[in-house]
Amino acid sequence: MTLYSILNLVLLGVLNLMNNITVASTIVTIEQKEFTAVLKTPAKPVTFPLSAEQKQLIQTMKTKLTDLGGVGLAAPQINQGLQIVAIFIPESAALLRDNVTPYPMHILINPTYEIIKTSALVEDFEACYSVSSKAGKVTRAKKIRLTYFDENGQQHESKEEGFYARVIQHEIDHLQGVLITDRLGPDSIQGSLEEMMALRRQELAPEKRALYDALMAKKLRPKA
């Protein structure tokens, strides 16, 4: 979820042609008016067993998120109004934040969460593949109780916290038609991606700035 350049948002669409099913994996953004509906409308729940088309969509999302370098991708972001999320938190995401546990690629279907009552609220930088003009500090609950189904229809329930809980809240927002532009209030720290990248760098301890620059240069800029 670290900040990212606009150039990386203008990605060429890749078509997955398998079993005569086509799923385009181009990321759509809120700045593209024709995709306002898919990004701002609550996504539909998925029923099991998954169709061949839904399995293909999941494969496309995994490939896409791997190519992007993480950390989260929701189906509406590739123009599919379904409650499917892919999460992949690489080791590199843990280098610049204190509360990050790396996670391998996994899929959450029909995920929901509730905020644990005693949880603190924390603010941190967020950017979004589907918002190219803005980033900022978003307030999220530190601890949540997460429920979701995996690809096999198995239900999972767990308590989550830290960066993973933040990513989950960001992705479930996508499934409810909510973007960081809706979460950034008049008092939130916000600005262009470039401004927020500069601010984030400034807030890092000096010894981490070189690492930040190296990661940015390598385009290891995972977002959600």
Nearer to Ni ion, 128 or 193 (CB): 128
Min dist CB 39 to Ni ion, Å, is 9
Min dist CB 18 to Ni ion, Å, is 26
5's CB contacts (< 8 A; 6+ apart) are 193, 219, 221
> Which residue's Cβ has the minimum distance to Ni ion?
128
Instruction: Give the CA distances from residue 157 to residues 93, 108, 144, 152, in Å, rounded to whole numbers and listed in that order.
Output: 24, 11, 11, 15
Min dist CB 126 to Ni ion, Å, is 8
Instruction: Give the CA distances from residue 105 to residues 22, 69, 108, 115, 179, in Å, rounded to whole numbers and listed in that order.
Output: 22, 11, 10, 24, 22
Distance, in Å, from the CA atom of 65 to the CA atom of 71, rounded to the nearest integer, reads 7
78's CB contacts (< 8 A; 6+ apart) are 23, 24, 25, 26, 27, 28, 60, 61, 64
Q: Choose among 142, 139, 144, 140: nearest CA to 115.
A: 144
Q: Is the Cβ–Cβ distance between 108 and 116 less than 8 Å?
A: no
Catalytic annotation on 171?
yes
Nearer to Ni ion, 197 or 224 (CB): 224
Min dist CB 12 to Ni ion, Å, is 20
Interaction site with Ni ion (CB under 5 A): 128, 224
Nearer to Ni ion, 133 or 152 (CB): 133
Of the candidates 34, 160, 171, 203, the residue annotated as catalytic is 171
Nearer to Ni ion, 86 or 100 (CB): 86
- What is the set of active-site residues? 171
